[in-house]
Amino acid sequence: MAHVDPPAPTAPASTPVTPVQMLLLAVVFVAEVLGLVAVAWWSVSLGGVLGVVVAVVAVSVMAALWGRFAAPRAASRLQGTPLAAFMLAWFAVGGVCLAAVGHPWWGVALVGGFAATKLVLRATGYRGAAPPASAPTPVQGEGPHVGQ
């Protein structure tokens, strides 16, 4: 008798996202973009070339931090309380930047709106995106050889 390997395990099916959850996720995404805009606005308000340079660097750092620790499919995404603390701190930076350019209530709205939207999203039963799929392991010794 031939040996037949069992089928490879598949990832558990994720719960479909409801239209309300999609809307709330869109609101969260817009808030993320507004957080980056707030940092850029404050940076540019410094004036001159320095302000532009600070804006590029600050927005890049903020985006990289979000991508590394909070993006739904980030390989090193934080979980639970550390993720919530990171997100609140990240949005607080945007809120402080809005306050620094003379709009403290916009800063409060940014942080509070984000937090409220995340709470409502959680109340709908949304638990986040599926974990990232791992990359296939490269096979050694295959492919073109350099120098031949």
Q: What is the pLDDT of residue 127?
A: 81
CA 72 to each of CA 5, 125, 130, 144: distance values in angstroms, whole numbers, following the listed order? 33, 16, 8, 35
Buried/exposed code over 35-53 (b: 16+ C-beta within 10 A; e: otherwise): bbebbbbbbbeeeeeeeee
Predicted confidence (pLDDT) at residue 82 exceeds the cutoff of 60: yes
> For residues 110 and 131, which has the higher predicted lDDT (pLDDT)?
110
Predicted confidence (pLDDT) at residue 148 exceeds the cutoff of 50: no
Q: Residue 101 CB: number of other CB atoms within 10 A?
A: 15
- Phi/psi region, residue 95 (left: phi>0; alpha: psi -120 to 50; beta: rest), is alpha
Predicted confidence (pLDDT) at residue 142 exceeds the cutoff of 70: no
Q: What is the pLDDT of residue 136?
A: 47
Global confidence as pTM: 0.76
Q: What does the pLDDT average to over 62-66?
A: 96
- pLDDT, averaged across the chain: 85
- Give the 3-state DSSP-derived string for 86-122, with helices as H, strands as E and coil as C: HHHHHHHHHHHHHHHCCCHHHHHHHHHHHHHHHHHHH
Predicted confidence (pLDDT) at residue 105 exceeds the cutoff of 70: yes
Residue 107's pLDDT band (cuts 50, 70, 90): very high
Q: For 9-34, what is each residue's pLDDT tens digit?
A: 444 556 788 999 999 999 999 999 99
Q: What is the pLDDT of residue 11?
A: 46
Predicted confidence (pLDDT) at residue 8 exceeds the cutoff of 80: no
